[in-house]
Amino acid sequence: MFDPVIAPSGTLLGLLQRGRGDGTLHALTAPRAEALTALNHCVLRDPRHDWQVENRSLYYARLFMDLNGELDAVEAHLFDPEDVLDTDESRTGLALAVLGHLASYGRRDALALLRRYAATGANWAWALDELALRDDDAGLRSLAAPVLARFATDAEGEAELAAAVRDAFEPRPWRLWAEDIREPIATRVRAAHEAGCFDRWQRQMRPTGPRPGWSVRAVFEWAQQGFERGAALHVPAARCLAAVAGPEDRPEILRAAREGFDGARCTALRYLADGDDPEALDLIEAAVSDGSVTVAEAAVDAFERMRGAFAVDRARRWAGRPDPLGAAAGRMLACRGGTRDRDLVLAALREAVRGEGPDAPTLWTLVDGAGRLGITCAAPVLRHVYRETASSHLRGRAARALAATDPSFAAGFAVECLWDCEESTRELAARHAETGDTRVVERLRRLAADPAEEAEVQTAVRSRIGPDTPAA
């Protein structure tokens, strides 16, 4: 899947793509046709950079309900001829998840689309999982024949069916079908289930990977062989090294960390860092200076795993370096530094935003650090990250940091966060938003009554309001 194109944060489309609470609030005041066009654009062209982690489906489903939106565009997308050509589940996954939430809100048209797509669509397994949570037994039983018809009755087809049963995220449909009154269906599903269980048992019993009986030299050779064929094995190799290395092997490990081949050098650096060995710090600095790109990256990663006070002291010395090791030092101080390190963390945060933009991966740690250390003068940068980032998870972290650093958060961003796409951000808002705003009390009550809302959010809501809380 290609990286999505995200519209500017000041536009309705950009707000909805980001999953911001202001997106919903703006959509509800915009012309309905314009709002539905932007909403359909988001649902049909998944705007998430990491669709397996970030949430959008409930956010978009709620807006569909508020706008009483039609599903014609979603239907056309699901049953487009491209569905046969592009079977990647990321093409239709978000649309199917939105339909699932709409079905739970009682939209019969959404339920009918899910049933139809489960019977004929390429991403049928996702649709079936959505139905497993929302459909009744009769509706699921009606899908048994069309789903099983997807699998040939030869050996290959039965193996594919067994894998589908084994890997199903929601087992309810398959359990129903195993007890179906139609004997051919029940017999076939039961056989597939038994074959899947046997296959799982075989995989668990089949030994894979290296054995701790190896010598240190053999572990280094294995790591180097992996490097030469393009497989980065230094992380598992370092774990193996921890199992087989003794005190007498230390000189060989230090030598590999200084001058070994790339695979062995990465392994040795990782091993020493995982053990918080003080000598690892000089070796890491040398690797960043004279090692290959692979070795330098492994050295930086190894440094960030260190936990000792001496590593934090070294981070203070390295924090001003204009290289990846300097950036890693800033992240270490954000995670494990103290109040004396506020200026260094703030400088790293500003430099990351200035140099890499509001979606830089390093910001996740630095934003958390700004909140943890209570760096109040970081609030303007945190607000910028909150507004501009395309990552709803990073925005949630920025909101959490603002709650700790920005006195205006409760009456500002916390209010819109009640409509955010991420439940953790809504929970934060439920704990902080000023209830003097009539929109806040109304929204809190709606979240408390919404059966689709997460339990953690509803717990936070109930800690703020009671049934007799005034609306103003």
Q: Which one has a higher pLDDT value, 65 or 194?
A: 65
Closest CA to 103 of 453, 456, 419, 452: 452
* pLDDT class of 207 with cuts at 50, 70, 90: low
Count of CA atoms in the C-beta half-sphere (13 A) of 369: 28
d(CA 348, CA 56): 30
Mean pLDDT of the chain: 91
Query: For position 467, what pLDDT does the model report?
Result: 54
pLDDT digits (tens, 9 = 90+) for 116-173: 999 999 999 999 999 999 999 999 999 999 999 999 989 898 889 999 998 888 999 9
Model confidence at 192: pLDDT above 50: yes
The residue with greater pLDDT, 90 or 335, is: 335
Answer yes or no: is pLDDT of 405 > 80.
yes
Joined together, the tokens standing for residue 417 give 């966060």
Q: Where are the domains of the chain?
A: 1-135, 154-206, 209-306
Contact 268, 287 (CB under 8 A): no
Higher pLDDT, 146 or 214: 146
Question: With contact defined as beta carbons under 8 Å apart, do 420 and 429 qualify?
Answer: yes
Q: How far apart are CA 421 and CA 54, in angstroms?
A: 9
Task: Name the band, by pLDDT with cuts 50, 70 and 90, for residue 333.
Answer: very high
**Alpha carbon distance 463, 428 (integer Å):** 12
- Mean per-residue pLDDT for 403-430? 96
86-102 pLDDT per residue, tens: 888 889 999 999 999 99
The b-or-e profile of 105-136 (16+ CB within 10 A means b, else e) is bebeebbebbbbbbbebbbbbbbbbbbbebbe
∠267-271-272 over CA atoms, to 5°?
120
Q: Are 418 and 447 in contact (CB under 8 A)?
A: yes
Between 149-163, 207-221, 282-296, 322-336, the lowest mean confidence (pLDDT) is in 207-221
Which pLDDT does position 299 carry in this prediction? 96
